[in-house]
Structure 1
Amino acid sequence: MFWADKIAADAQGEQVVNDSKTPSGRVHVGSLRGVVIHDVIYRALKHAGKPVKFLYGVDDYDALDTVPKYLDAEKFSPYLGYPLCNVPSPGENASDYAKYFMGEFLEVFDYLGVKPEIYYLRDLYRSGKLNAAIDTFLQNAHLVREAYLQVSKAKRPDNWYPFQVVCENCGKIATTVVTDYNGKEVFYTCKPDATDWVAGCGHSGWVSPFDGNGKLPWKVEWVAKWQALGVTIEMAGKDHSQKGGSRDVANAICRKVLHQNPPFHSPYEFILVNGTKMSSSKGVGSSAKEIADLLPPEILRFLMLRTQPRSGINFSPNYETVTRLFRDYDGLIEKYREAAKQGTPEMTQDLMALFYSQLGDEIQTYHPFDFSTIISLLQVPHLEMTEEVKNRTEVELTEADWQVVNQRIAVAQKWLDDYADEEEKLVLYFDAVPEKVKELSAEQVKYLTQLAENLQTLEAWEGEALQTEIFSTAKALPIAPNLAFPAVYYSFLGKERGPKAGALLSYLDREFVITRIRDAIALAQEPAKVEA
């Protein structure tokens, strides 16, 4: 059974699935994993006929703790320590900082077919929906302190209260410390040394903690949200799920103070880019919007779902990773189509990942056209893509097939324009033989000579036949493949590696290929010039 279907099968009664994000900067693709995981749980519950709601929170009462490198530090540094919803917007299309960065992320939700009910923490606090929880946790501050100490070994002073006021004098929330509560008001100090990244103003006084005048620390706030919203399922990333970590502390507070069981939880791993965990504020990696602009929605969902939540994903939009992602998806489409021909397909784990990658409730099949081939074809001058696709497809493509092909042509062009390294690009030498062929050995020249002869009589000028001929010529001589293939690539690309050699030659006219190989042989055999 697929992991989400198992969660759904075990769930009893009405379910509320919740996830949230602090919009501290441009939201990175790593944050999409939690979004998609919770969306799939929601869909699995719906398919199982269980009553369910899907909520997504914007934690916009958190403090701005650093200025992302892509923003004007001089403009935003004065707002360090402010609630994100009280920081000005970097652009004109939003009312504040939090809504500016969350707006871009929510566009990606729509793109991926994710449709939760969105709520903002500012609204929960300012509307009074968290007032009862605030009072409960302030009245039971000693139990909250006990939970911190018992679970994470973090000792809080005896006069520490789980609340941070928005300073009435300077507007900061990160620098305030509450040391008393009389049932109606808290006493706080905006401490100059509260953090090592922003100074408080020194103001102190009594103020009501209710109706948006401040916030709970996020581990306590987590529990307050569970209670206020009736959350029954909320997963968390591995960093929050370590033994003695944030989730364990929140669970202990939930049981100790509220005498309730916490929501169902299972940790999930991160998405890494080249082994680096992505950070919203540091701008490391690719933003969710950028990756959504590159990958079709089903492919992007598939990236998140083809591995179990507890397995990490190391994603980088290089040639090998992106083309393999499309190839794996196409392979499952073919597997499903073939199984469907025999009747109702057995929905194996991989096919369930494919199912939940769809935007709707059924798998949309098509006749796949290899994505790496599209990348290569786009780089061959004077090719008419539509005609080339038709010539290389054994079946007549439907309108739906062409929608996929045209979408992939756009994706491939964007990848070439924005992501491809120079060495990943296919730069064909049409006008002159690359100088690199002068480095070919006598064994490689002999191979090219035989290959040119064999290609003249090859019946089918198409990728697989050419690939077979390149291999069989090497085997007959014999010459090692790690010498034969570079000889071909040097002759056309001027470098040692390239796309599948048979496919590469199939993009080109037979006469041009044979003439080029013979010109390469001639240049390789020219005697080296001796300098006087």
Structure 2
Amino acid sequence: MSGHPKPIMLHWVDKLTEDLIAHWPDKKEFHCNCGISVSGRQHVGRLRGEIVLTNAVVEELKRKGVSATHYLILYTSDPWKGKEAQLNAFSDPKDAEKYINWRLVDVPDPTGKHSSWIDYYWKDFGNPLPKFGKDIKIIRTHEFYQTEEMKKTIVALIQQKEKVRGILNKYRAENPFPENWIPFNPICDNCHRIGTTKALEVDLKTFKVRYSCSECEDEGWSDMKLGKLTWRLEWLAIWYTLNIHFEPYGKDHATPGGSRDSCIEVLETVLEHPGPYGFWNEWVGYSEGRTDFGDMTSSGFIGFTPTTWLQYAESHVLRYLYLKPPPKRRIVLGLDKLPSYIAEYDKAQRIYHNIEPFDDPSELQTILRSYEIAHFNKVPEYIGFQLDYNQAIILGQLVEEGEKGTEKAIIKLIATGILETKPSPEVRAHIHFRLNLARKWIKDCAPPHLQINIPSEIPKEIIKNIDPETRKIVLALAKTLETTSWTQEEIKKCMIELKTKFKLSRKQMAIFFGILYQIFLGTSRGPRFAPFIAALEQEWVIGRLTQIK
């Protein structure tokens, strides 16, 4: 943060890391953990706590000279619930009901292109994961249950199951676990379900469990390595087996006396092992337009994936959005609002590199530190230019794709004064990349008023409906533009002078802009006027305006 004042307060990541070290003062090696169930679409909301928050702490621990590992548990042995959105992923939802209560790893890929449901829905999260978090060790529970370490933990818990039951029942005033309860979900050897079985007896020497299945009424013995602990015990068994020191968790586990507290008590009382340091974070909501659809959810298929995000924006933009606000504040994301997210990141970049001043010292430090952490504490050198995403949205529609289109865009940027000189290879690559991102966003996500489709002629009905006074102002604008330097700023000044000259109110000005958009686009709305007009040829713009005579 060269050139900026010293921090007056710690960023929440730094404070959390210091608190974690204070909690474990003698530790030289930290194991940090998070977990997700691959029950459906793996949305970007899961990047917030499980990836960005945890990874930021891990990287800060490393910067302080201690060893740290980031584990990510994929709960692949959980039963597939067969919710409406899950069933609808298949071409025949009714037929897919046969997979209800199978282990997630056993459910087939609905597209038939991958080996399982897990592999299909994990790819759009797992493939781009290194862009959002570094050196993450992924563990799938169906594989973890095959290990000797997990087997020993299961044996220890079942050997003391009455003690476990007594503790958990303190938190279950209603529906307590009965005597002879066995905290294990066996897999049915007949119908392969794991969510419809009851453990009747265990043989810890052979690691077999006798079960009954309410679905197919089968009874028998099955391999415990194919089953799973009940979810609370599974959670704490992972803490114990991996020796976890830190794990963030969602607000659903943050209630005092809730699931996490019961797990901690079992871990510390039964297994005599300290519980991990915890930190809860809010969830991420999903919106379209002004509608908030609630929190993103995997099994409900609400939200969008990291792969989808990367089609329109860079990974560090989203990391910055997650790092700047307090983690206990809800964030709502919508792809239609993506230009504003990029604008927020670009502003942080300008502030960090002393290009743009910022007066609030408290927020300044949050911006600077968030920007650093977003880049894994290795901030790249400023290349000397930012292509505003909104500008890229306009240019991307006015020039063709590929290098030829990029060259035309650069010529326009230089001609309009946005780019002062011939760009360096780095700047050129940045322009090319942003143009491609913006084109893809326009195609998939943009509201209609940002999509540029210029009619070859002004529709006659539009010309006919322009009243004499407005016609006079439009022609005055055309005349003024003849001698105006063709830059965004000069065009803005021209519009301000026009407003003053004709004494137009704000409402009248809004109506006037609507008419201008009709002249150029055939619709009453469009991209920001000055950048849009500046991207067009001056002679053509003036000619278009004078067509209304």
Q: Which TM-score bucket, shorter chain as reference?
A: 0.7 to 0.9
Sort the Cα spacing of 1:492 and 1:402 in 2 relative to 1 into closer, same or farther, 3 A: same
How many angstroms apart in 1 are the aligned matches of 2:262 and 2:462? 63
SS in 1 for 2:273: coil
Aligned to 2:3: none
Distance in 2, matches of 1:76 and 1:85, equals: 15
For 1:504, the equivalent position in structure 2 comes to: 532
1:168 counterpart residue number? 189
Do the aligned partners of residues 101 and 46 (structure 1) sit closer, same or farther apart at CA in structure 2, a change above 3 Å counting?
same
Partner of 1:362 in structure 2?
379
2:67 maps to which residue? 51
Query: Is residue 36 of structure 2 the alignment partner of residue 21 of structure 1?
Result: yes
Say if 2:211 and 2:220, in contact at 8 Å, map to a contact too.
Answer: yes
RMSD: 2.8
- Number of matched pairs: 505
Cα distance between partner residues in 2 of 1:489 and 1:152 = 64
Q: Where does residue 279 of structure 2 map in the other structure?
A: 266
Contact 2:62 2:68 in 1 (8 A): yes
Counterpart CA distance in 2 for 1:15 and 1:203 is 45
Q: Residue in 1 aligned with 2:247?
A: 234
CA separation of 1:456 and 1:208: change in aligned 2, threshold 3 A:
closer
Instruction: Give the direction of change, closer, same or farther, for the CA distance of 1:509–1:104 in structure 2 (3 Å limit).
Output: closer
Question: Which residue does 1:69 correspond to in 2?
Answer: 88
Superposed counterparts of 1:180-191, under 5 Å: 180-181=201-202, 186-191=209-214
Tell me, in whole angstroms, the C-alpha distance in 2 between the residues paired with 1:213 and 1:272.
Answer: 35
Residues 90, 111 of structure 2: 8 Å contact kept: no
Q: Does 1:287 align with 2:305?
A: yes
Amino acid at match of 1:496: S
Q: Which residue of 1 aligns with 2:542?
A: 514
| SS at 2:69 equivalent | strand
Task: Using the TM superposition, give the Cα deviation of residue 300 of structure 1 relative to its aligned residue in structure 2, in angstroms.
Answer: 2.9
- Partner SS for 1:15: strand
Matched with 2:365 is: 348
Asked if 1:219 is matched to 2:219, the reply is: no
| Structure 1 residues 153 and 428: CA distance shift in structure 2, 3 A | farther
8 Å CA contact retained: 1:69, 1:283 = no
What is the distance in 2 between the residues matched to 1:307 and 1:365? 24
TM-score (norm 1): 0.87
Segments of 5+ residues of structure 1 without an aligned counterpart are: 192-199, 523-532
Q: Determine what percentage of the aligned residue pairs are the same residue.
A: 24
* 1:371-382 aligned within 5 A: 371-380=389-398
2:142 paired residue number: 122
Q: Within the alignment, does 1:80 sit opposite 2:100 as a pair?
A: yes
Asked whether the equivalents of residues 148 and 154 of structure 1 are also in contact (C-alpha less than 8 Å), the reply is no
Give CA deviations for 1:312-369 in whole Å, capped at 9, x if unaligned: 2211111xx211112111111111222799xxx9982111111122257224423111
Whether contact under 8 Å (1:437, 1:487) holds in the other structure is no
Instruction: Identify unmatched segments of 5+ residues in structure 2.
Output: 1-9
Which secondary structure does the structure 2 equivalent of 1:166 belong to?
coil
1 CA distance for matches of 2:423 and 2:264?
54
- State whether residues 434 and 491 of structure 1, in contact with CA within 8 Å, keep that contact through their aligned partners in structure 2: no
Residue 468 (1) aligns with residue 477 (2): no
Pair 1:38-2:54 in alignment: yes
Give the CA deviation at 1:428. Answer: 2.5
Superposition pairs of residues 472-483 of structure 1, within 5 angstroms:
472-483=497-508
Partner of 1:204: 219
For 1:411, the equivalent position in structure 2 comes to 437
Residue 340 (structure 2) aligns with: 324
User: Residues of 1 paired with 2:13 and 2:142: CA distance?
Assistant: 31
Paired position in structure 2 for 1:303: 321
**Alignment of 1:388 onto 2:404:** no
Rounded to whole Å, the distance in 2 between the matches of 1:405 and 1:173 is 52
Cα distance between partner residues in 1 of 2:187 and 2:386: 56
Distance in structure 2 (CA, Å) of the matches to 1:153 and 1:397: 69
Which range moved further: 162-171 or 293-302?
293-302
Q: Distance in 1 between matches of 2:483 and 2:451?
A: 30
Give, as a single letter, the amino acid of the residue that structure 2 aligns with 1:203: D
| Equivalent pair of 1:380/1:428 in contact (CA under 8 Å) | no
Per-residue deviation, 1:181 = 4.9
TM-score (norm 2): 0.84
Residues 234-290 of structure 1 deviation map (CA, whole Å, 9 limit, x = unaligned)? 101223333444333323332343343321111112221112222223322322322
